[in-house]
């Protein structure tokens, strides 16, 4: 399928989704949201994929925010419908069976930061800048920022970012746990690819269950989280990859996982 605003490239077990509007600093408009949704259909339909990478085209921005022309037309009714749709599509990324990695190559502001927050891991270029500047426009975050940001970096830091609208640089983002790694700009995609390949080499079902267990523990109570972890651990013990993993360890050889 051909897209106008994004690129979807599949190489082996890794898919790369690129927001491809560099002339607009990859601002996400409504059409881009719908294309992301269609791309996720393709990702979910491909049983051979193990990791999804998200990034932005060009050198300036991952996603510099929402499309300001569409925002200018947004009234109360559109504000509700458009943000709900964006939340729905972004949440699909978070709930994929496979992990996702945000390769943050520049500005990640507003809906751009929120797009990174639904990813499993975040790797930032040293020149990246990240923020929730919506209050400067008289609005608040609308694609999950008020929910996910405090859960990732704590309420105090999230409140400061949201209430001031000021961005943080890559080193500050790393210090507060907003990103997992900071790498030189010219090494970003190489480092992300290595990380993706490392995860892709692990047993598919173990990765799927581990990701699901962590998300459930974060979202639910201690008792619920532990019960679900125990359930998924038991499922993983019944897989062929578990047998292969243990056997290869005992036999001191590299495992040959099959995803079953």
Active-site annotation, residues: 114, 134
Read off φ and ψ for residue 121, nearest 5 degrees. -135, 155
CB 214 within 8 A of CB 66: no
Dig out the tokens for 77 from the structure. Answer: 């009714």
Please, what is the Cα angle at 21 between 17 and 25, to 5 degrees? 110
| Site of tokens 């400067």 | 136
The neighbouring-strand residues paired with 10 are 15
How many Cβ atoms sit within 10 Å of the Cβ of residue 91?
A: 14
Please check whether residue 242 is in contact with residue 209, taking contact to mean a CB–CB distance below 8 angstroms: no
Give the CA radius of gyration of the chain.
19
55 DSSP 8-state letter = E
User: Any alpha helices (H) in 67-187, and if so which ranges?
Assistant: 68-73, 76-94, 111-117, 145-153, 155-164, 170-175
The encoded tokens of residue 34 equal 């719908």
Q: Strand 107-109 relative to strand 168-169: parallel, antiparallel, unpaired?
A: unpaired
Q: How many CB atoms lie within 10 A of CB 233?
A: 13
């Amino acid at each position: 399928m051909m897209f106008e605003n994004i690129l979807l490239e599949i190489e082996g077990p890794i898919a790369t989704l690129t927001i491809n509007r560099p002339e607009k600093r990859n601002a996400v408009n409504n059409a881009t949201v719908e294309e992301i949704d269609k791309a996720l259909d393709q990702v979910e339909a491909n049983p051979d994929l193990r990791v999804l990478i998200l990034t932005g085209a060009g050198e300036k921005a991952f996603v510099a925010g929402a499309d300001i022309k569409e925002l200018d037309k947004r009234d109360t009714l559109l504000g509700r419908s458009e943000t709900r749709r964006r939340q729905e599509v972004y949440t699909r990324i978070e709930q994929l069976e496979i992990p996702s990695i945000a390769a943050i190559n520049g500005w990640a502001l507003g809906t751009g930061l929120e797009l990174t927050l639904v990813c499993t891991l975040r790797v930032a270029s040293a020149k990246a800048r990240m923020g929730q500047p919506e209050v400067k426009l008289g609005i608040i975050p609308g694609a999950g920022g008020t929910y996910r940001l405090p859960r990732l970096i704590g309420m105090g830091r999230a409140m400061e970012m949201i209430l001031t609208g000021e961005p943080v640089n890559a080193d500050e983002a790393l210090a507060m746990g907003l990103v997992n790694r900071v790498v030189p700009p010219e090494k970003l995609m190489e480092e992300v690819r290595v990380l993706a390949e490392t995860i892709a080499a692990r047993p598919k079902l173990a990765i799927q269950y581990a990701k699901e267990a962590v998300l459930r523990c974060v979202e639910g109570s201690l008792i619920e989280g532990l019960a679900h972890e125990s359930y998924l651990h038991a499922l993983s013990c019944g897989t062929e990859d578990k047998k292969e993993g243990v056997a290869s360890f005992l036999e001191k050889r590299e495992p040959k996982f099959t995803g079953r």
